[in-house]
Amino acid sequence: MIGFKVNLSWHYLVLFSPIFIGATDNPSFAFFLERQFTLYLTLALSFGALVGVGRFFLKRNKTAPSTLLLGAAGLLATVASVLSLATLSADMPWRIASVVLLGFSEAFLMFLWLHYYMEAAAGHLFRSFAVDMMAGGVIAFLTCSFVPPLSYVVALCMPAVATVSLIANWRTIEPVDAAAPAPAVKPPRKSILRHSLKTLLPTTVYAFVFGLLQGGFINSGIALLMAGNAVVLVGIVLAGIVIFFIPEAPETNADIDTIHRFSLLFFVLGIVGLSFLGGGGGVLLASETVILAGFNLFDFGGLILGVGLARRLKPGSLLLVDGGRVLVYVSLAVGLVVGRCVVTGFGVADPSLVLYSLCGAAITMLVATVLTPFREQESFEAQIARMTSESAESGDAATGGAAGSEAGAAAAPASGAPAPAASKKVAAESAPAAPAPAPRDEPAPSKPALSSKPSGEPKRADTPWRRTCRGIAELYKLSPRETEIFFLIAKGRNAEYVQQKLVISMHTAKTHIANIYHKLGVHSSQEMLSLIETFREEDIKSQEQD
Report whether pLDDT(494) > 80: yes
SS3 (DSSP) at 97: helix
In contact, 431 and 531? CB cutoff 8 Å: yes
In contact, 485 and 513? CB cutoff 8 Å: yes
Neighbouring residues of 449: CB distance < 8 A, sequence distance ≥ 6: 471
pLDDT of res. 180:
41
Q: Is the dihedral of CA 41, 44, 50, 52 positive or negative?
A: negative
Rg of the Cα atoms in the chain: 28
Task: Round to the nearest angstrom and report the end-to-end CA distance of the chain.
Answer: 62
Q: What pLDDT digit, counting tens, does each position of 108-137 carry?
A: 999 988 888 777 655 567 788 889 999 999
Q: Taking the complete model, does pTM exceed 0.85, yes or no?
A: no
CA–CA distances in Å: residue 20 to residues 31, 187, 219, 433: 13, 44, 20, 70
Confidence of residue 373 (pLDDT cuts 50, 70, 90): low
Higher per-residue confidence, 258 vs 11:
11
Cα(320)–Cα(303) distance, integer angstroms: 9
Report whether pLDDT(156) > 60: yes
Q: Is the dihedral of CA 307, 225, 202, 243 positive or negative?
A: positive
CB atoms within 10 A of CB 541: 12
Confidence of residue 235 (pLDDT cuts 50, 70, 90): very high
Query: Prior bond to 464 cis, omega within 30?
Result: no
Cα(196)–Cα(194) distance, integer angstroms: 5
Q: Which of 21-25, 56-60, 263-267 has the weakest average pLDDT?
A: 56-60
Report whether pLDDT(528) > 60: yes
Neighbouring residues of 71: CB distance < 8 A, sequence distance ≥ 6: 163, 167
Average pLDDT (361-371) is 87
pLDDT of res. 434:
41
Average pLDDT (39-62) is 82
In contact, 220 and 355? CB cutoff 8 Å: yes
pLDDT of res. 313:
62
Cα(163)–Cα(79) distance, integer angstroms: 13
DSSP string, 24-46: TT-S--HHHHHHHHHHHHHHHHH
In contact, 173 and 300? CB cutoff 8 Å: no
Q: What pLDDT digit, counting tens, does each position of 419-443 carry?
A: 333 333 334 444 444 444 444 444 4
Cα(87)–Cα(102) distance, integer angstroms: 12
Cα(265)–Cα(17) distance, integer angstroms: 25
Query: Residue-wise over 505-536: b if at least 16 C-beta within 10 A, else e?
Result: eeeebeebbeebbebbebeebbbbbbbbbbbb
Helices 506-520 & 480-489 angle (0-180, nearest 10): 90
Domains of the chain are 2-377 (1.20.1250.20), 383-545 (no CATH)
CB atoms within 10 A of CB 297: 30
CB atoms within 10 A of CB 160: 17
CA–CA distances in Å: residue 18 to residues 155, 305, 308: 12, 31, 34
Confidence of residue 55 (pLDDT cuts 50, 70, 90): confident
Cα(465)–Cα(535) distance, integer angstroms: 10
CA angle 107, 110, 113 (to 5 degrees): 150
CA–CA distances in Å: residue 7 to residues 27, 149, 285, 306: 31, 20, 25, 19
Cα(343)–Cα(355) distance, integer angstroms: 7
Average pLDDT (268-275) is 85
Average pLDDT (162-170) is 89
Q: What pLDDT digit, counting tens, does each position of 286-344 carry?
A: 888 999 999 888 888 778 777 777 766 665 556 777 888 899 999 999 999 999 898 88
SS3 (DSSP) at 519: helix
